[in-house]
Amino acid sequence: MKRLSTPEGLARHGFTLQGIKEWRKKEYDAGRPSGIDDFFRAHGLCVKCRGERTLVVGIRRRDADGVERAEKGPSMGLVEKYSLENPTNWLNETRKWDYLYETCHVCGGNGKYPSPEHPNLPSAD
Ligand SMILES: [Zn+2]
């Protein structure tokens, strides 16, 4: 899945890194909130999932018996824990492992800010 942290993800929403930079500078110069979260808010996107509707909550991997497992936690830590860079542990021939996604709990999965049913909470991070 393309995420907003990548130029491709941004482009899907019609944004460019340059565009964001310009928006932030304009707001900053005007003395208004100019953080990246403010950008998403101003454009009606959920701050938590950045309009992606889902959050990465862990990884999917294949265990020693070839059974696919999903586990929640920080992805990089789990990749290390299960030696997922080792080809014998790969999910399939082409994929080492995959992210585990969960519907964003802040926007209820619609990617919008704010939504009447799920008013966005202040970002904890
Ligand atoms: Zn969301």
User: What is the C-alpha separation between 11 and 2, in angstroms, rounded?
Assistant: 10
109 part of a folded domain: no
110 part of a folded domain: no
Q: Are residues 69 and 97 in the same domain?
A: yes
123 part of a folded domain: no
| pTM of the full structure | 0.68
Distance 51 CA to ligand 1 centre (A): 6
Tell me the pLDDT tens digit for each residue of 24-60.
999 999 999 999 999 999 999 999 998 889 999 999 9
| Measured CA distances, 40 to 3, 16, 68, 116, 117 (Å) | 13, 13, 35, 17, 19
Distance 71 CA to ligand 1 centre (A): 21
111 part of a folded domain: no
How many domains are contained in the chain?
A: 2
Which structural domain, as residue segments, surrounds residue 31? 7-42
Tell me the pLDDT tens digit for each residue of 71-116.
999 999 999 999 998 888 888 888 889 999 999 999 999 999 875 5
Distance 68 CA to ligand 1 centre (A): 27
Q: Are residues 63 and 86 in the same domain?
A: yes
Q: Are residues 66 and 30 in the same domain?
A: no
User: What is the C-alpha separation between 92 and 66, in angstroms, rounded?
Assistant: 10
